[in-house]
Amino acid sequence: MSTIEKVDVFVAAPGRNYVTLRITTSDGVTGLGDATLNGRELAVAAYLRDHVAPLLVGRDPARIEDTWQYLYRGAYWRRGPVTMTAIAAVDIALWDIKGKVAGLPVYQLLGGRSRDAVLVYGHASGSDLAELFDDIARFKDAGYQAIRAQTGVPGLAGSYGVRKGLIYEPAATALPEEQPWSTEQYLNFAPRYLREVRERFGFDFHLLHDVHHRLTPIEAARFGKEVEELHLFWMEDPTPAENQESFRLIRQHTTTPIAVGEVLTSIWDVQQLITEQLIDYVRTSVSHSGGITHLRRIFDLAALYQVRSGSHGPTDLSPVSLAAAVHVDTAIPNFGIQEYMAFAPETLEVFRGGASFADGMLHVSEEPGLGVEYDERLAERFPYDPKYLPVARRLDGSVHDW
């Protein structure tokens, strides 16, 4: 029987910080997992090196479900981003190995194709409306059929979601940058600028917007109602989702579709949102919510309630995550959309292969496994570079959800 022989954890910053897990079997087959948790990278790396790797050596790499249960239940302590990201990395790596051993791409092991390609949305942004309009035009020219629009709120320095340069990177400083926030100013401005986007570019593309956890339920209800006739594909994270029940209030007031889940790590965190149909898209990610095994379980639950997938896919998830997400997207019946951002050139030199982009869609790799290779030697040239996400403060100085 083949066994797990070696478990390596790489922490490197090719373009940005990534934590990468590599499992090697006694037959010399390798599998890759993404263990990146933005701003908390070393916690997951230590969890894997100190507490997971010793448990994996000698195990049967084919027993993916059993390994998931062993790591989840065996830890005794439940859920949480560090644990679930570590389990996810192991799970993704084991699926990669299973695919390579079978000589099949992972989506074939998940039941085969449900679709030819995967619809993605790109991130258009600008510090003001003129810049945002230019960026939307650029995304349309590049073939995107779905575009997320974010711009700075006039008078507030450093709004969420606005790119500086070609690569979006919110974790940009050695200590957390503090950014001002005013709900009043945002609520007065955002519906107006989204209307201008529709007036300028029409309705022949999907328009998305990320509220990024900034509103209370009743504020979110107001926002959703005001943008209803703009037919957003979704409003994302309108309010923090720890209290799943709170989405009922938003639902009572608006038909604007709701997407939630990028900071949530398990099926139990989205159970009420799904089973009570309080959201339309579930955005849990393959690398923060327990890997392919657990993400599939979440999406299968969602399918029963006509909730579709909308996997989180920013650049702070590595190309290994994107590849794994696209294998899942290709296979599941209730796929909605996949988030997609361009990676830095250095990232694509270190992580080679994976899904490819054409005409607003991602195409899954046909290579056995996930189809991604990691260049360990090249990665060594990009040492870890500690960076934090920003923190938001209201104008009175108190901390707000970033």
Strands 146-151 vs 178-181: parallel, antiparallel or unpaired: unpaired
Q: Give the 3-state secondary structure of 22-36.
A: EEEECCCCEEEEECC
Site mask for Mg ion (CB under 5 A), range 272-291, x = bound: --------------------
Q: What share of the chain is helix, strand, coil (3-state, %, to 5)?
A: 40, 20, 40
By C-beta, is 99 or 152 nearer to ligand KDG?
Answer: 152
38 binds ligand KDG (CB under 6 A): yes
Strands 351-353 vs 281-282: parallel, antiparallel or unpaired: unpaired
Stretch that binds ligand KDG, among 74-82, 125-133, 188-196, 312-320 (CB under 6 A): 312-320
Q: Nearest approach, Cβ of 320 to ligand KDG (angstroms)?
A: 16
What is the rounded distance in angstroms from the CA atom of residue 319 to the CA atom of residue 33? 10
**Is 70 annotated in the active site?**
no
Element (H, E) at 268: helix 267-275
Residue 38 contact partner, candidates ligand KDG, Mg ion, none, CB within 5 to 8 A by sort of partner: ligand KDG
238 binds ligand KDG (CB under 6 A): no
What is the rounded distance in angstroms from the CA atom of residue 3 to the CA atom of residue 62? 9
Interface pick for ligand KDG out of 41, 269, 280, 316 (rule CB under 6 A): 316
Interface pick for ligand KDG out of 298, 339, 350, 392 (rule CB under 6 A): 339
Structure-derived torsion over alpha carbons of residues 84, 380, 342, 286, reported in degrees to the nearest 10: -20
Do residues 41 and 10 touch, judged by C-beta distance below 8 A?
Answer: no
The two tokens of residue 220 are 């979110």
**Is 212 annotated in the active site?**
yes
Residue 170 contact partner, candidates ligand KDG, Mg ion, none, CB within 5 to 8 A by sort of partner: ligand KDG
Interface pick for ligand KDG out of 101, 167, 303, 389 (rule CB under 6 A): 389
Stretch that binds Mg ion, among 15-23, 68-76, 210-218, 224-232 (CB under 5 A): 210-218
Element (H, E) at 309: strand 308-309
Do residues 284 and 263 touch, judged by C-beta distance below 8 A?
Answer: no
By C-beta, is 96 or 339 nearer to ligand KDG?
Answer: 339
By C-beta, is 16 or 100 nearer to ligand KDG?
Answer: 16
Interface pick for ligand KDG out of 314, 334, 342, 390 (rule CB under 6 A): 314
By C-beta, is 100 or 212 nearer to ligand KDG?
Answer: 212
Nearest residue to 83 via CA among 43, 53, 54, 50: 43
By C-beta, is 91 or 339 nearer to ligand KDG?
Answer: 339
**Which residues fall within 8 angstroms of residue 241, CB to CB, at 6 or more apart?**
213, 247, 260, 261, 263, 264, 269, 270, 273
By C-beta, is 251 or 312 nearer to Mg ion?
Answer: 312
What is the rounded distance in angstroms from the CA atom of residue 109 to the CA atom of residue 218? 44
Interface pick for ligand KDG out of 210, 269, 280, 329 (rule CB under 6 A): 210
219 binds Mg ion (CB under 5 A): no
Q: Name which of residues 291 to 310 contact Mg ion (CB under 5 A).
A: none
Residue 329 contact partner, candidates Mg ion, ligand KDG, none, CB within 5 to 8 A by sort of partner: none
What is the rounded distance in angstroms from the CA atom of residue 100 to the CA atom of residue 62? 11
Interface pick for ligand KDG out of 61, 99, 170, 354 (rule CB under 6 A): 170
What is the rounded distance in angstroms from the CA atom of residue 72 to the CA atom of residue 94? 15
Q: Nearest approach, Cβ of 170 to ligand KDG (angstroms)?
A: 5
In the complex, the residues that contact Mg ion under the rule CB under 5 A are: 210
Q: List interacting residues with ligand KDG (CB under 6 A).
A: 38, 170, 210, 212, 236, 262, 312, 314, 316, 339, 389
